[in-house]
Amino acid sequence: MTAHPMIAVVHSTTASIAPTTAAFVRELPQARLWNLLDDRLGADADRLGTVTPPLRRRMLDLIQHGIDGGADAVLMACSMYGDTVAVAEQIWTTPVFASDLDMMNHLARTRPRTVAVLASLEAAAVDSATRLRIHLDAQHANTEIVPIFSTGAASAAAAGDLNQLVDTLAADLDGRDVDTLCIAQYSLSPAADGLAERTGLPVVSPPNLAARAVRERLESAS
């Protein structure tokens, strides 16, 4: 690993930039972050109900841009594009990371009874829950998954109103019998600590685990 590796991070909202930066400050403080933004990637996928081939092409173009610019690794901070990693691995030798794969690996190890998947976009909630189901089934983890679309979370995250974000997510959990909370989107991850305090439940959030995976991959390659 170089002394100051450059990590290109592809974002679908400006709200995911700060949580990603904070995660790398903790896990890989010497990294230089290069934030690449297409703020329609998430909204367009949500409007269409899926990641279409043209949307996937847009993500791949951003990954290509990062690699062409000298990135040592690329992290996709948008949860709905996780399956793009498989395509990227066939094209480039530069490591490309999905936003939440390492969080899914953590849940496969801990095997909660019931996990709520929290998202601010309906398509993101469904996509993350579906991919988590597939991942846990492959690990023979008999965990019930409850996708939760939180209608007010996006505006609270965009405004940087952490108290409102925690309040909104906690309200959407009211009355649900779950024992672990999974935050699907980087933009919502600042609420993790407050949500854990409010609910008394363990909360897993993707940025720190992804940043740690990037560090470990680069260290192992050096």
The domain of 198 spans 101-205
pLDDT in the model for residue 50: 85
Q: Answer yes or no: is 63 within a domain.
A: yes
Residue 172 shares a structural domain with residue 189 = yes
Residue 107 shares a structural domain with residue 79 = no
Q: Answer yes or no: is 78 within a domain.
A: yes
pLDDT in the model for residue 179: 94
Number of domains in the chain: 2
pLDDT tens by residue, 16-49? 999 999 999 999 999 999 999 999 998 898 889 8
pLDDT in the model for residue 80: 83
Residue 52 shares a structural domain with residue 122 = no
Q: Answer yes or no: is 36 within a domain.
A: yes
Dihedral (CA of 134, 139, 140, 145) sign: negative
pLDDT in the model for residue 27: 94
pLDDT in the model for residue 202: 96
Residue 197 shares a structural domain with residue 107 = yes
Residue 200 shares a structural domain with residue 121 = yes
pLDDT in the model for residue 95: 96
Distance CA 72, CA 220 (A): 13
Residue 198 shares a structural domain with residue 148 = yes
Q: Which CATH number is 138's domain given?
A: 3.40.50.1860
C-alpha count within 13 angstroms, C-beta hemisphere, residue 194: 14
pLDDT in the model for residue 175: 84
In the structure encoding, which two tokens stand for residue 80, read together? 């709905």
pLDDT in the model for residue 93: 95
Nearest to 169 by CA among 179, 158, 177, 182: 182
Q: Answer yes or no: is 23 within a domain.
A: yes
pLDDT in the model for residue 20: 95
Q: Answer yes or no: is 81 within a domain.
A: yes
Residue 88 shares a structural domain with residue 130 = no
Q: Answer yes or no: is 1 within a domain.
A: no
Q: In the chain, which residues have pLDDT < 50?
A: none
